[in-house]
Structure 1
Amino acid sequence: MSDSKSVNLFHRHGVPSFLEGIYQGRFEWDMISNFVAQDSADEKAGDAAVERLTDILRNRVNPTAVDATRELPEGLLEELRRTGFLNLQDSPDIGGLGLSSYNTFRVVQAAASWSVPVALVLGIQTAVGSGTYLRALPPGELHSYVEQRLLDGIISGSADTEPAGASNSARRTRAVPTDDGEAFLLTGEKIHIGNGPIADIVTVSAMLDEDGQDRPRLFFVETSDPGFSIRSRHEFMGVKGFPNAALVLDGVRVPRERMIVEVDPDTEVRITAELTMAVVRGRLHLITAPSLAISKLCLEWSRNFVNRRTIDGRPLGAREEIQHMVSSTMADVFAIQALAEWSLLPADQPDLGLNVAFEQNVTKAISAEICWRAADRTMDLLAGEGFETAPSKARRGAPALPLERFYRDARNLRISGGVSFLLQFWAARMSQFTYYGPDHAGQSAALSQDGGQQPCTDGLDPLNADHLRFAAAETRRLGAACQKFAADHPAPGLYEHQHRLIAFSRIADEILTMSVVLAKAARLHHEGRTEAQDLAAIYCAHARDRLAALWRQAEPVTAGPDHAAVSDAWLSGDDTYASLITGVITDVPPTADTHPGKR
């Protein structure tokens, strides 16, 4: 493993990774048991930034009005720009706040707890904005250009997704060199572009013919350039008010020096490895921070609702099922918090010598799924009052908890930044199964064995000690199962088994989340805080139930139903299943723009 490129994008030679070990069947508890904590000085800096942003949001943003009008308040972006909140991690020398990765997370979380659309504007700037690229660009003309534009106070975004779908490796947008070779002409269409309607610069992915071979390239495009236009603003089921648009490029001229030159043109990703990791880390700000914020709100709203309700004179909170629901949401909040800390704090503390790139790659999908469980559970708990809008509640004098709005916003988080099941498949293909198969037979055979050693359970009560030993055993089971599956299904045919690969990926995710939850509980125990033991036990008990179901998908005992045959028959128009849609009107109804606004 001396050459990281021979393993995968996230491997760092000589730098240990906890999740990488899980992928290989090794449970390295000693690496995570001393769970990381935020530096006290950095924590104070984060407290101050959160307090300043909270004041701005309370004074300038009515989130209910943003949801109703589909527009951010006038002047808000300028104030966020002036105060540095549009450049959370950029240096103060170029108008930023210079926050650490974890404090950036905390700021976006605070914004999302008030208005998810505002948080997403900040998250786009942090995850895929020009400042992210600047930190990865080498000194030179492009670096100087981006730095100057940041000094100008630009808003930026990334234009990658196209109508044909984001999962395609190639892009239909084309870059054609001008006759003099000094520039490129970009032509194509992009959709679902965050900050698209308000951006001054977008990075555009396009295919470029280089010596007869198409290669994906990235270009910095000024939205004021001739040929650039906004086709329409998107309106989603949730996150209403978040500026998002379909963009058109019609022969936009981009100087050659504004193209990012790839270090490795053969990579599976469309940008350099360093930039890819910056974007992967940025998804924690864009998705995980709102996921944690919404989960925390659901927890508070659950308490608010349960404490004011009785059923036949008996407090609602005294009912067993209600206790299970509330405590499960408490454990889910604890889990996302632990994942965020483990995935970000080591990056802020390089002296720890830990590689958390693998964790950063999967935490987006894990946190979005946990958030959705918490939101859906809270909707069940509040029932009709949850489904009702906050203004409707206010009109009848009920507490105007905005669960309905955040429920819609939470659903977006499982899609934005990559649909969960695709991210899990890519994690299996680009990370987990790079350690198995004929090319890695000797390596995987050695790495998937850790001798069956039991991890030290210091700091855990007996119930959680059992959960820890279970996680270690599941890790060894996973390594052996992946090794056998790869041997039985050699690549490239291996990657046709998407459903089972996703199951293997999700098993690793569950083991990871159990582990960080237990590690944080152990650390808090040593600090004299024992309340986390119960939260960890609740989370791990549910995780074990989910793992049992996932193993049935990953290692089916018998052949399952023929999904392919049934699906193919339906998609081909075969009459066999025509009765499934009889009695309904399948015509697409006419549409009318009931909120034309600024389109």
Structure 2
Amino acid sequence: MTTLDDPRPVPRQLPTPEARDLLVLVRDLIRREVRPSAAAEEEAGVFPRALFARLSAAGLLSLPYPEEYGGGDQPYEIYLQVLEELAAARLTVGLGVSVHTLACHALAEFGTKEQRAEHLPAMLSGGLLGAYCLSEPGSGSDAASLRTRAERDGGDWVISGTKAWITHGGIADFCTVLARTGDEGPDGITAFLVPGDAPGLDAAVPERKMGMAGSPTTQLHFDGVRVPDARRVGEEGRGFRIAMAALDAGRLGMAACAVGVAQAALDEALAFTTGREQFGRRVADFQGLRFMLADMATQIEAGRSLYLAAARLRDAGRPYSSQAAMAKLFCTDTAMRVTIDAVQALGGYGYTADFPAERYLREAKVLQIVEGTNQIQRAVIARHLVGAS
């Protein structure tokens, strides 16, 4: 079963006709709304905010969350395949949906019934966009050493400090913020839901990045930002555990995005090498290129199978932290290898901005860094295998 201008079949991994219909809808939306402007907007550094409003209206910002709060009630196995499709069309969009989903996770999983009823419908399907605020200038991989503080003041909390590397910084409507409310270490951290327009919250100038120019990444400065205790998510001092649970899910999002970028690079390499002739033969008919394309396809399929296997564990309510780290590690390393090979397959054309292969290569690199570097993923996997060092 193919859809419109997309020659690839709808994945067999989709378990129901409804899920297959969802992917057809997503591919149609991508064809009409995402692909036509992706290259030009990335080059110009334009964030597609209107597109995210349309994604919200279509229910694509809320897929894995409960229907009673405006979510799609879809298993992660399906949500991640939708994410892969979006990232293949434009990583700014796929990664943006993943970050928004991550920003909703704390409230959806750890908030009170009253908090979920008050805030989740707007967060999930009300056209809002979220940001996730954990990292700081001095605490990236060592997230438990964060310095942003939240002090009690009557029935409020007053937050002061700086967060770094925030996707959607300066444009998000709400932020899930991790701040220190107690002593040093992971047990002194608490989670808060902070409005994006809260007084005292300001965004720095966006970072100048090698890729994903359309996705704003900034520092956020909290200068006495006041939030009521009703916006504290979970128990005081439990924020680090909430953050780590969110990151397990977020790592699966990055794995799916990485497979999407790698698939887009392979599709580009296939189109070029089957459509170009050298020495009277298609470029794709030379054994060196045929074997390269075969390796690229094999790595992509292995990565896809790995992230889906981890998603099924999550959907079954089983532990999946190690498998999420494996998926993030393997899929993002695969995206790096595949995009390098795609540029090589296009030869000189691959090095020009007239073809998207070089953009895929630049974008793939960030996926080895976000949601925990791949060195951290190896540490997580090893800890599950042999215990803490």
Q: TM-score, normalised by structure 2?
A: 0.87
CA shift for structure 1 position 329 = 0.7
Provide the C-alpha distance between the structure 2 equivalents of 1:90 and 1:303, rounded to a whole number of angstroms: 37
Per the alignment, do residues 212 and 340 of structure 1 end up closer, same or farther by CA in structure 2, a change over 3 Å counting? closer
Alignment of 1:49 with 2:22, yes or no, is yes
Determine helix, strand or coil for the equivalent of 2:176. Answer: strand
The answer for the alignment partner of 2:62 in structure 1 is: 87
CA contact (8 A) 1:66 1:241 kept: yes
- Is contact 2:326-2:381 (8 Å) kept? yes
SS of the aligned residue for 2:178 comes to strand
Q: Does 2:106 correspond to 1:133?
A: yes
Q: Which amino acid aligns with 2:367?
A: L
In structure 2, relative to structure 1, the CA distance for the partners of 1:405 and 1:259 (3 Å cut) is same
* Alignment-mate amino acid for residue 177 of structure 2: V
The Cα offsets for residues 107-130 of structure 1, whole Å up to 9 and x where unpaired, read as 11111111110111111122x122
Which among 293, 299, 310 is matched to residue 326 of structure 1? 293
* Conservation of the 8 A alpha-carbon contact between 2:80 and 2:256: yes
Alpha carbons of 1:261 and 1:94: their partners in 2 closer, same or farther (altered >3 Å)? closer
Counterpart of 1:254 in structure 2 is: 227
Q: Which one-letter code corresponds to 2:171 in the other structure?
A: I
Q: Note the C-alpha offset of 1:213.
A: 11
Amino acid at match of 2:284: G
Q: 1:74 deviation in Å?
A: 5.5
The yes-or-no answer on 1:411 pairing with 2:365 is: yes
1:133-152 equivalences in 2 (<5 Å): 133-137=106-110, 139-147=112-120, 149-150=122-123, 152=126
- 1:432 aligns to what SS in structure 2? helix
- What does residue 147 of structure 2 align with? 172
Native 8 Å contact 2:149 2:180 kept in 1: yes
Q: Which runs of 5+ in 2 are unaligned?
A: 1-11
Asked if structure 1 preserves the Cα contact closer than 8 Å seen for 2:14 and 2:78, the reply is no
Find the partner of 2:332 among 353, 368, 371: 368
- Give 3-state SS (helix, strand or coil) of 1:404's partner: helix
**For 1:332 and 1:109, how far apart are their aligned partners in 2?**
15
SS in 1 for 2:160: strand
Instruction: Name the counterpart of 2:132.
Output: 158
Distance, in Å, in 1 between the alignment partners of 2:368 and 2:271 is: 26
Contact in 2 for aligned 1:218/1:271 (Cα 8 Å): no
Q: Which residue of 2 aligns with 1:63?
A: 38
| Letter matched to residue 264 of structure 2 | L
Asked if 1:216 is matched to 2:189, the reply is: yes
Q: How far did residue 223 of structure 1 move?
A: 1.7
Q: Is the 8 A contact 2:145 2:184 kept in 1?
A: no
Q: Is 1:227 equivalent to 2:197 in the alignment?
A: no
Q: 1:433 is aligned with what amino acid?
A: V
The SS at the match of 2:109 is coil
1:208/1:214 contact within 8 Å kept: no
Corresponding position of 2:47: 72
Deviation at 1:262, TM superposition (A): 4.3
Distance 1:277 1:73, change over 3 A: closer
Give the 3 Å change call, closer, same or farther, for CA 211–358 of structure 1 in structure 2.
Answer: closer
User: How far did residue 259 of structure 1 move?
Assistant: 2.1
Q: Are 2:387 and 1:420 equivalent residues in the alignment?
A: no
The Cα shift of 1:152 comes to: 4.8
Pick from 227, 231, 241 the counterpart of residue 271 of structure 1: 241
Counterparts of 2:342 and 2:94, CA distance in 1: 22
Question: Closer, same or farther in 2 for the Cα pair 1:212/1:241, shift >3 Å?
Answer: closer
Describe how 1:504-515 pairs up with structure 2 within 5 A: none
CA contact (8 A) 1:306 1:317 kept: yes
* Cα distance between partner residues in 2 of 1:343 and 1:119: 19
1:197 and 1:230 in contact (8 A); partners too: yes
- Secondary structure at the aligned position of 2:52 is classed as helix
Is the Cα–Cα contact under 8 Å of residues 106 and 233 in structure 2 kept in the other structure? Answer: no
Q: Which residue of 2 aligns with 1:379?
A: 343
Q: Which amino acid aligns with 1:418?
A: G
Query: Cα deviation per residue 1:120-166 (whole Å; 9 max; x = unaligned)?
Result: 1111122x122x22331253544444335436543212111111131
Report the equivalent of 2:250: 282
Q: Distance in 2 between matches of 1:74 and 1:167?
A: 29
Gaps of 5+ in 1: 1-36, 391-400, 435-490, 496-599
Q: Aligned pair 1:197/2:150, yes or no?
A: no
1:389 to 344, 353, 357: 353
Q: CA deviation at 1:234?
A: 2.6
TM-score normalized with structure 1 length? 0.58
Residue 88 of structure 1: how far off its partner (Å): 1.9
Query: Identity across aligned pairs (percent)?
Result: 23
Are the counterparts in 2 of residues 218 and 259 from structure 1 also a CA contact under 8 Å?
A: yes
**Which amino acid is 1:293 matched to?**
G
Q: Which residue does the alignment assign to 1:530? A: none
Residue in 1 aligned with 2:4? none
Closer, same or farther: CA 276–118 of 1 in aligned 2, 3 Å:
same
Measure, in 2, the Cα distance between the counterparts of 1:145 and 1:51. 32
CA contact (8 A) 1:231 1:248 kept: yes
Following superposition, the deviation at residue 427 of structure 1 comes to 2.8
User: Which structure has the larger Rg?
Assistant: 1
Within 2, Cα distance between the matches of 1:373 and 1:256? 47
CA contact (8 A) 2:14 2:20 kept: no
Counterpart in the other structure of 1:118: 93
Whether 1:109 and 2:76 are equivalent positions in the alignment is: no
- Quick check: 1:125–1:157 contact (8 Å CA) kept in 2? yes
SS of residue paired to 1:372? helix
Alignment match, 1:513 = none
**2: CA distance, partners of 1:332 / 1:243:** 30
Write the letter of the residue equivalent to 1:335: A
Match of 1:305 among 272, 291, 295: 272
SS in 2 for 1:118: helix
Q: Is the 8 A contact 1:46 1:107 kept in 2?
A: no
1:357 positional shift: 3.6
Aligned to 2:110, the other structure's residue is in SS state coil
Q: How many residues align?
A: 374
State the one-letter code of the partner of 1:428.
A
Native 8 Å contact 2:108 2:120 kept in 1: no
Distance 1:106 1:355 in 2: 21
